Amino acid sequence: MAKKTNTRKTNTQAGPTIDRVAIVGMGYVGLPLALQFGRCGLNVVGLDIDPSKVNQINQGQSYIKHIRSDDIAALRKAKRFTASTDFSLVKKVGAVIICVPTPLNKNREPDISYITETGKSIAPYLHKGILIVLESTTYPGTTDEDLRAVLEAGSGLKAGIDFHLAFSPEREDPGNPDSKVAQIPKVVGGLTPACLEKASALYSRAIKTIVPVSSCRAAEATKILENTFRGINIALVNELKMVYGAMGIDIWEVIRAAKTKPFGFMAFYPGPGLGGHCIPIDPFYLTWKAREYGQNTRFIELAGEINTSMPDYVIGQLTAALNTRKKAVNGSKVLVLGLAYKPNVDDDRESPSYVLMEKLKNLGAEVCYYDPYVPVIRPTREHPHWAGTHSVAWGRETIQTCDAVLIATNHEAVNYQELADWATCIIDTRNAMAKVKTRPGQVWKA
């Protein structure tokens, strides 16, 4: 825990231990965090504007694949976890943790409206000594400028004097069985030393390692660095995929060999484009904010251009594969295999599969998809017209009627040997067919 360095007396000294916490946003970040706090003995209120999520939680049911209903039901039975749409419950808690989306708008600019609207919703119910922590990934300055202004205006209280304010970036890795909330080090930055101490004390109740930093902005910048690092390195291997492909060299073989080096190399893998709520978005939060300081982020923007161009490269490879069979994309039936943005999850946020489906449809292809974890497409901000579309059934008849199968996500639940036995043409963006017996010319890497 950070050492207290306050030089003046305020109303926001560390104070009593927090035993009741509200978490706003019961999604892929908020729900696992709520369960972890509940397991550690705290009473948790999950706040969300979606009544269906609230109802399912209160019935002990999970709506996220990798989160077990039994875990929710156990905490419900122990009376340590309840969900509600009533934000006035903030009056009864010692801390509020905000875990809401931070997307880009249609102009690819940061949209922090979910943060500010949450701030407006909880501000009337703040009380002296309460701790507010933002976990949503955003640009440096959001917590101590934007969120702080909304909270102070709506409550009449002052951050750092009447209530605590901090930022602690989420580090969820959905679908990774080795990723446990309690074991992932927690970066925490506070508006004041007392704010840092209060936030660190809360998280230390549920998380093994706390990493204090000097400010909210340093904590915000830490998360941006983590995801920008990944985005840039993925762009590098995506570019090398195209360069080496033109040379007749398999990028997957090269990466497999390179990662045997025990130092100075970290393996990243190419794909059909970036997906998820972090890597495709977070670097652009930094590029936008950097302009305010007269700084250019050319490296980040170039990486973004490469990654966002990947669907076009994939479509080009699919077109070439069909051409060898004297077929055009126009009029061909194409199955997109995998709608989720990563393997073994049901999370389809920012999935490149949607971009691929859109491009194929615009080229005149008949498009369908198969994903065992996304049986029907839910409404999305970016691709609302696909809502209600159902996954096709997995089977020989389905596969054999397709002119091409495009592997966009390599779920382990898929039988790739059956795919090889049934499909005539496979475009593989994930190296999923590497260990499968296939026929010459059947698989095209993209």
> So which residues are the catalytic ones?
278
CB–CB of 412/429 below 8 Å? Answer: no
CA 54 to chain centre: 21
* Pairwise CA distance, residues 180 & 173, whole Å: 9
What is 142-182 written as a DSSP string?
Answer: IIIIIIHHHHHHHHS--BTTTBEEEE------TT-TT--GG
- Give the ranges where 279-378 is alpha helix by DSSP (H): 282-292, 298-308, 310-323, 352-362
* Pairwise CA distance, residues 268 & 71, whole Å: 33
CB–CB of 79/245 below 8 Å? Answer: no
Cβ count within 10 A of residue 327: 16
Return the DSSP state at 82.
E
**Full strand arrangement of the beta sheet holding 43-47:** 81-84, 43-47, 20-24, 95-98, 131-134, 164-167, 186-190, 210-213
* Pairwise CA distance, residues 376 & 229, whole Å: 33
- Residue 45, strand partner residues: 22, 82
Pairing mode of beta strands 186-190, 164-167: antiparallel
Tokens of 65: 């694949």
Return the DSSP state at 73.
H
* Pairwise CA distance, residues 38 & 172, whole Å: 17
